[in-house]
Amino acid sequence: MISKDFFAALDELEKDKMIDKSIFIDALEAGLVSAFKKETGEARHIMVKLNEVRNDIKVYAYKIVVEEVVDADKEVTLQDAREIKKSYSIGDQVSDDVTPNQLSRIAIQTAKQVIMQRLNDIRKDRIVAEMTEKEGEIANAKIIGIDGDTVKLEIANVEMTAIMSGQDRVPGDRYIIGRTIKVYVKNTRVSGRNPQVMVSRSAPGLVKRLFELEVPEIKSGEVIVKGIVRDAGNRTKMSVYSENPNLDAVGACIGQRGVRINAVVNELNGEKVDLIPWSEDPLEYIACALSPAKVRMVQVEEEGRSAKVVVDEDKLSLAIGKGGQNVRLAAKLTGWKIDVKAMTSANEAEMAGSQSEFEEIENEEVSDVVEITEVSEVADVVEIAEVVEIAEVIEVAEVIEVADTKAVQTEE
């Protein structure tokens, strides 16, 4: 069997499918072996060799030389083999060229099925390996179908369908067939014959990766994301930190005139993002995490990792948030149970007593109570850049509203 066009077609397949030609040849050989056996009923071992130099295909039937024959159809004794050729030894193959002039249509169809199955297996393994490497990353995907709460997408540059379940969708997002969106690759799993890529738009990791795309300092490691929690579609709180005292971690994430954070918010369809300066001091960290509310006092109990927070009465609902969202996210971000109370006369007396204690102790470390009359007073601790007049937190919705001003100021 000789065909120059056949080998030229292999070159085209290699370019089109991005699969090495040697893999195609291996698959073809296996397919032709199956086809020849079905066509001829040959009981001996069959070997097919594709020779690219001579542009030909050869089929060989062979037996293995053994000391004692167990299967006469596939084995031959050394004595019998040496009657054919004296140089044969144990383990050699005694072969005959049985290349047919052509195969029947049934045999060709059999070969095609074997080849396609091999190629599908190779493609599946390649895609699973490629997508496994992309786990935890962002990918561009085109929406190709919607089935109830499940969205089907096609990952760009990968011949594979991705699945977004109902819990991975963001409430309020519009999913339109043909639209390309950014998704977070959760994992790749093999279910039945086909692998599936599970993606998400609600995962906190999506927000982190979006900031990495917009903030070079995060990508380089100069700014570290210490924690991130999310109520998808409503609010995200992300704490950031830099070991470089000259680098403002929050300001780097905001960008000049809010350009960096606005890009993230636009991708999230207006979801609010609070940027929190991380602190190893739980008092300061908890106070900042409750932004946009201004905290008056924080008191912690290390044993139960619980904190009592006092805010002005008119800021109580802001600190708690709708349905408890703000305080719940703050608690998840900091890892502390947080109980928020409004300022009362008793609170004021307690704060006054705490202030007197601070003045008496002076240089001694005080770890259980701190007075924070204005959140902005903590700004000097974290050294926020002048372009951002308030250090602790950025309320994204308001950053957008004042994007044309020279400074970004957040107050709720």
Angle between the N-to-C axes of helices 21-40 and 105-133, in degrees from 0 to 180, rounded to the nearest 10: 150
At 342, is the secondary structure helix, strand, or coil?
Answer: strand
Tell me: do 211 and 341 sit in the same domain. Answer: yes
The token pair at 348 is 């004021």
In a domain, 408, yes or no: no
As a whole number, the mean pLDDT across the chain is 79
Name beta bridge partners: 141: 155, 181
CA atoms within 13 A on the CB side of 383: 9
What span, in angstroms and rounded, lies between the C-alpha atoms of 132 and 108? Answer: 36
Tell me: do 72 and 186 sit in the same domain. Answer: no
**93-123 b/e (C-beta count within 10 Å ≥ 16 → b):** ebeeebeeeebeeebeebbeebbeebbeebb
pTM for the model stands at 0.63
Per the structure, how many domains does the chain have? Answer: 3
- CATH number of the domain to which 177 belongs: 2.40.50.140
Tell me: do 32 and 99 sit in the same domain. Answer: yes
At 79, phi and psi to the nearest 5?
A: -60, -45
- Among 150, 184, 200, which residue terminates a domain? 200
The token pair at 394 is 């950025």
- Among 130, 158, 174, which residue terminates a domain? 130
Dihedral, CA of residue 349, residue 354, residue 359 and residue 360, to nearest 10: 110
Tell me: do 271 and 375 sit in the same domain. Answer: yes
- CATH number of the domain to which 106 belongs: 3.30.1480.10
At 260, is the secondary structure helix, strand, or coil?
Answer: helix
> How far apart, in Å, do the first and last CA atoms of the chain sit?
80
Tell me: do 231 and 291 sit in the same domain. Answer: yes
Place of tokens 């006369």: 345
In a domain, 409, yes or no: no
- Which residues are CB-contacts of 129 (< 8 A; sequence separation ≥ 6)? none
Name the nearest CA neighbour of 307 among 292, 290, 321. Answer: 290
**pLDDT per residue of the chain (412 residues) written in tens, 0 to 9:** 445 666 676 677 667 766 677 777 777 778 778 878 877 788 888 888 877 777 677 888 899 999 899 988 889 999 998 989 899 999 999 988 888 777 677 766 766 777 777 777 777 777 778 778 888 999 999 999 999 999 999 988 776 789 999 999 998 888 999 999 999 999 887 766 667 889 999 999 999 999 999 999 999 999 999 999 999 999 999 999 999 999 999 999 999 999 999 999 999 999 999 999 999 999 999 999 999 999 999 999 998 899 999 999 999 999 999 999 999 999 999 999 999 998 875 556 555 555 444 344 334 433 333 333 333 333 333 333 333 333 333 343 333 333 333 333 333 3
- Which residues are CB-contacts of 29 (< 8 A; sequence separation ≥ 6)? 47, 48, 49, 50
The token pair at 340 is 């928020």
- Among 166, 200, 234, which residue terminates a domain? 200
In a domain, 344, yes or no: yes
At 110, is the secondary structure helix, strand, or coil?
Answer: helix
Q: Are 9 and 21 in contact (CB under 8 A)?
A: no
In a domain, 244, yes or no: yes
351-357: long-range contacts (C-beta < 8 A, 24 or more apart)? 351/296, 351/297, 351/310, 354/297
Tell me: do 23 and 50 sit in the same domain. Answer: yes
Cα separations in angstroms, 362 against 3, 287, 365, 370? 93, 22, 8, 13
In a domain, 412, yes or no: no
Tell me: do 169 and 250 sit in the same domain. Answer: no
Q: Are 156 and 142 in contact (CB under 8 A)?
A: yes
Q: Are 112 and 9 in contact (CB under 8 A)?
A: no
- The conformation of residue 137, written as its DSSP 8-state character, comes to S
Place of tokens 């001996």: 44
- CATH number of the domain to which 352 belongs: 3.30.300.20
Domain that holds residue 351: 204-401
In a domain, 43, yes or no: yes
Q: Across the chain, which distance is largest between two alpha carbons, in Å?
A: 112
